[in-house]
Each structure stands twice: as structure tokens, then as C-alpha cells.
């Protein structure tokens, strides 16, 4: 039943009487009982959820939520789009579902090995490279990644004659799972 609010005024209507006061008391009592039942149900639901979280992750829901509020970039939080990350110059983000995106900068004096910040759990699927300097390149100069594995790749910067270029900086991004 919906509550109808009354404005009580001395000598006004409805009159302040034992019957009206009893109706108020009955309404407060009924709502208190409903709130008590709701609280018990909600607490039971939270306890059930907490037990499921503990069995799935080994941590309690309270621990996870407390950690998530700490600002730690490697803490999983409910509904977060990622499970871990490092925002370093050579960093990574592990997305929910298993995709990992990694990035970094490599300064080369020849062909060089780049070790990813974290190894991909299954495979590296793509490495994209881009030059990171203000030098104008001649036609035929290129930068590329090759021989990629779950933990590394090689990057080469070559001139239009195929020779290694010296002292260039390269940005790279790798995607895998």
C-alpha cells in the first residue's frame, strides 16, 4: 500500500487522535519489518556473491574492492576492461578476454632484438612499427618487425640500399593473446 503523506496542523484535519496515531505506528512497524527482511536478503545475496568471488579468484569481494580503490594499476576490479597494465614507456595492458596490447620505443644501431614487457600467454599476432624521429627518410627506407615470438621480435631499419640505418628511434606496438 502506498503511503499518503499528511500535513498535521493543530486543530486541523485529520485530527490528532489515538486512532490516527495508531495508524502511523502500524505503518512504521510494517515498513520496519519489510526493511529488516530486505536487509537480511541483501546480506545473504552479498555473502553468496562473496563466496563465488573467493572460489573464482582466491580473494574476497571486500579485498578486491578495497584494492581497486587503492589506485593500483595492476589490480582487477569488477567491470574493469583490463586485468593488468603497466603505463611505462615500454608497457602493456591485458584486456578482459585475454587480448594483450604492448608498446614501446626501441633505439637501434642496427638490427635489434626487442623483448616485450610481458610474454604473450599464447602468441604474438602482430607487431607494428613507426619511426620516431624528425629525420626525413628517402624513398625506399623502411622499418619493420620480423621473427616475432610470444616474448620478443626483431626490428630492422634499413635504407634504400638495404643497409642498416644507425641511431634511429622506433615506436612499436604488439598485439596478441
pLDDT category of residue 116 using cuts at 50, 70 and 90:
very high
pLDDT of residue 109: 58
Phi-psi region of 43 (alpha: psi -120 to 50; beta: other; left: phi over 0): alpha
Q: Is the pLDDT of residue 158 over 70?
A: yes
Q: Is the pLDDT of residue 151 over 70?
A: yes
Here the cell at position 3 is 503511503
pLDDT of residue 40: 65
Q: Is the pLDDT of residue 159 over 70?
A: no
Region 2-10: what's the mean pLDDT?
Answer: 67
pLDDT of residue 117: 96
Q: Is the pLDDT of residue 17 over 90?
A: no
pLDDT category of residue 96 using cuts at 50, 70 and 90:
confident
pLDDT of residue 25: 73
Region 152-156: what's the mean pLDDT?
Answer: 91
Asked whether the whole model's pTM tops 0.75, one would answer no
pLDDT of residue 73: 46
How far apart are alpha carbons 105 and 157 in whole angstroms? 13
Across 23-27, 55-59, 91-95, 140-144, least confident range = 55-59
Task: Return the H-helix or E-strand segment holding 22.
Answer: helix 18-57
Amino acid at each position: 500500500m502506498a503511503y499518503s503523506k499528511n500535513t498535521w496542523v493543530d486543530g486541523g484535519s485529520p485530527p490528532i487522535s489515538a486512532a490516527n496515531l495508531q495508524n502511523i505506528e502500524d505503518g512504521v512497524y510494517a515498513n520496519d519489518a519489510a526493511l529488516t527482511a530486505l536487509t537480511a536478503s541483501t546480506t545473504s545475496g552479498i555473502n553468496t556473491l562473496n563466496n563465488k568471488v573467493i572460489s573464482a579468484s582466491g580473494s574476497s569481494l571486500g579485498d578486491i574492492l578495497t584494492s581497486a580503490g587503492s589506485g593500483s594499476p595492476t589490480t582487477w576490479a569488477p567491470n574493469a576492461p583490463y586485468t593488468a597494465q603497466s603505463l611505462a614507456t615500454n608497457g602493456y595492458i591485458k584486456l578482459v578476454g585475454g587480448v594483450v596490447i604492448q608498446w614501446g620505443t626501441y633505439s637501434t644501431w642496427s638490427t635489434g632484438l626487442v623483448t616485450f614487457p610481458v610474454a604473450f600467454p599464447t602468441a604474438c599476432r602482430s607487431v607494428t612499427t613507426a619511426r620516431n624521429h624528425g629525420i626525413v627518410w628517402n624513398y625506399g627506407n623502411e622499418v619493420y618487425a620480423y621473427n616475432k615470438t610470444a616474448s620478443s621480435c626483431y626490428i630492422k631499419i634499413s635504407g634504400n640500399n638495404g643497409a642498416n640505418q644507425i641511431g634511429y628511434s622506433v615506436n612499436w606496438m604488439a598485439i596478441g593473446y
